[in-house]
Amino acid sequence: MEYSFNVDTKIEKACDKGGGSRYVLCNPRLLINNEHSGVGTLVASNGKVLAAVPVDVTTGDPRDGVRDLEVPVKAIPTRKGKGRRVQKGEAGWTNSQTDTIHPPVPESRYPKVDEALPEWGGKDWRVEVTLNAELLYNLALAITGANDPKRVTLRIGQPNTPIAVAGDLGIGVIMPCEGADRGEQYKQTASQLAAYYAEGEE
- Are 91 and 169 within one domain? no
**Is 81 a domain residue?**
yes
- Are 92 and 140 within one domain? no
- Are 92 and 9 within one domain? yes
* Strand, helix or coil for residue 190: helix
- Are 7 and 103 within one domain? yes
**Is 127 a domain residue?**
no
pLDDT at residue 90 in the model: 84
Give the model confidence (pLDDT) of 22-48 as tens digits: 788 999 999 988 655 578 999 999 988
- Are 108 and 167 within one domain? no
**Helix boundaries (H) for the chain:** 133-143, 183-201
**Is 182 a domain residue?**
no
**Is 121 a domain residue?**
no
- Are 85 and 137 within one domain? no
- Are 63 and 155 within one domain? no
pLDDT at residue 140 in the model: 93
Give the model confidence (pLDDT) of 152-200 as tens digits: 999 998 878 899 999 999 999 999 987 677 888 999 999 999 988 887 6
**Is 193 a domain residue?**
no
pLDDT at residue 188 in the model: 92
The answer on pLDDT for 59 being more than 90 is no
* pTM confidence score: 0.84
Give the model confidence (pLDDT) of 107-157 as tens digits: 778 888 888 888 887 777 778 888 999 999 999 999 999 877 778 999 998
Residue 164 belongs to what domain range?
133-174
Task: Please count the structural domains in the chain.
Answer: 2
- Are 104 and 158 within one domain? no
- Are 60 and 145 within one domain? no
Please, which pLDDT band fits residue 60 given cuts at 50, 70 and 90? low
**Is 57 a domain residue?**
yes
- Are 13 and 105 within one domain? yes
CB 68 within 8 A of CB 104: no
- Are 144 and 112 within one domain? no
CB 56 within 8 A of CB 39: yes
DSSP state of 124: T
pLDDT at residue 147 in the model: 79
Residue 130 identity (one-letter amino acid): T
Other Cβ atoms within 10 Å of 71 Cβ, number:
26
* Strand, helix or coil for residue 195: helix
The answer on pLDDT for 81 being more than 60 is no
pLDDT at residue 136 in the model: 94
- Are 64 and 17 within one domain? yes
pLDDT at residue 18 in the model: 73
Give the model confidence (pLDDT) of 87-113 as tens digits: 888 889 998 888 899 998 777 788 888
